[in-house]
Amino acid sequence: MPMPSRRLSAALLTGTCLTLLAGCAGSSDTAGAHGPAAASAIPVVASTNVYGDLARRIGGAKVQVTSIIGDPDQDPHSYEASTRNQLALSKAEVVIENGGGYDDFVDRMLKSAGSSPDVINAVEVSGKTAPKGGELNEHVWYDFPTVAELAERIAAALGEADPADAATFTQNAKDFVHLLRPLERKEARIKAEHGGEAVAITEPVPLYMIEASGLRNATPEEFSEAIEEGDDVSPRTLRSTLALFTGKKVEALVYNEQTSGPQTEKAERAAEAAGIPVVPVTETLPKGKDYLAWMTANVDALASALAK
């Protein structure tokens, strides 16, 4: 069922949670991209495993990364941060947050942590702002130019923390940015072949990928906003959304499978009944995939759906 809040919750588990750390939610990744982290590794905390993966790729064995949200079955919007996370933040030299209202609990926890890490805010790095009269789409990790800039910013932060390895971090970021280029070319290919075609979404999560692919989001704004905020969709808005599928007005439904409920499931069933492809996406890394493999699968799935 839809969650009551569509932003990462600021609620902190207190008291006896410290004695139950093994059972608290979260993920602590102590290995670097190329093996176990060194004893003197830079402590990095990322709000989600998406940013944790970027830090490990750029920092390698020189970083020790804690991803606060690392479970693909966890709804990021309803996450309750733990005292374990508070402890990790108090020791971090670099913190990577999404910003834009997505994970505000990180800033609140930092205020009580008594430390001053280098905080990297992905939305600020992106330079994106809310459109006039609209809301900011904070899901900037689906925007590859932003992720490229973020990689460079992470390399710079790690270089300040460990000047001796700054050149390595910079080169790792360059290598990563180079590997992002094929993804941008895939989006450009979709745009060339399907530019202007309409698709539907359940939430704004994949919108940057959709827009970069030249596609048009035909979903009533009231529907995707209500789903994202955890509100009920009005009967009229739901009928308008379902009509996109029964009337075959869209070529695909891009569905956030990490946060679903009765109304999004109705949309999914309507699309399937009409023979319209459903493209599942998530907000955090699926098990067994890094960022590049994950996004490659997402873009390829979108291209395949449109080609049917």
List CB contacts of 24: < 8 A, sequence separation 6 or more: 13, 17, 82, 83, 84
**Would you place residue 114 in the very low, low, confident or very high pLDDT band (cuts 50, 70, 90)?**
confident
**Would you place residue 76 in the very low, low, confident or very high pLDDT band (cuts 50, 70, 90)?**
low
**Would you place residue 230 in the very low, low, confident or very high pLDDT band (cuts 50, 70, 90)?**
confident
pLDDT at 115 over 80: yes
d(CA 67, CA 212): 28
15-180 and 183-307 share one CATH topology?
yes
pLDDT at 29 over 60: no
Average pLDDT over residues 295-306: 98
CB 215 within 8 A of CB 299: no
Longest distance between any two alpha carbons in the chain, whole Å = 61
d(CA 90, CA 41): 16
Residue 30 or 153, more confident: 153
pLDDT at 18 over 60: no
Residue 114 or 87, more confident: 87
Q: Is 25 exposed, middle or buried (0-12, 13-18, 19+ CB in 10 A)?
A: middle
Neighbours of 192 (CB within 10 A): 10
Task: Spell out the domain ranges in the chain.
Answer: 15-180, 183-307
**Would you place residue 186 in the very low, low, confident or very high pLDDT band (cuts 50, 70, 90)?**
very high
d(CA 60, CA 31): 8
Average pLDDT over residues 174-203: 98
pLDDT of residue 132: 86
pLDDT of residue 100: 94
**Would you place residue 51 in the very low, low, confident or very high pLDDT band (cuts 50, 70, 90)?**
very high
User: Tokens in use for 80?
Assistant: 């309750």
pLDDT tens by residue, 274-291 = 999 999 999 999 989 999
pLDDT of residue 77: 63
Average pLDDT over residues 110-117: 86
CATH of 15-180, one of 3.40.50.720, 3.30.1330.60, 3.40.50.1980, 3.30.70.3270: 3.40.50.1980
- Strand, helix or coil for residue 175: helix
Angle between helices 235-246 and 221-229 (to 10 degrees): 120
pLDDT at 196 over 70: yes
Residue 196 zone, left/alpha/beta (φ > 0; ψ -120 to 50; rest): left
Residue 4 or 52, more confident: 52
pLDDT of residue 32: 44
Residue 143 or 38, more confident: 143
Q: Is the dihedral of CA 254, 260, 261, 262 positive or negative?
A: positive
pLDDT tens by residue, 205-227 = 999 999 999 999 999 999 998 99
d(CA 98, CA 12): 19
Cα dist from 224 to 11, 135, 231, 253, whole Å: 25, 12, 10, 12
Residues of the chain with pLDDT > 90, as a percent, come to: 71
- Strand, helix or coil for residue 204: coil
- The yes or no reply on domain 183-307 and CATH 3.40.50.1980 is yes
**Would you place residue 133 in the very low, low, confident or very high pLDDT band (cuts 50, 70, 90)?**
confident
**Would you place residue 39 in the very low, low, confident or very high pLDDT band (cuts 50, 70, 90)?**
low
d(CA 212, CA 176): 20
User: Tokens in use for 124?
Assistant: 């600020």
pLDDT of residue 108: 86
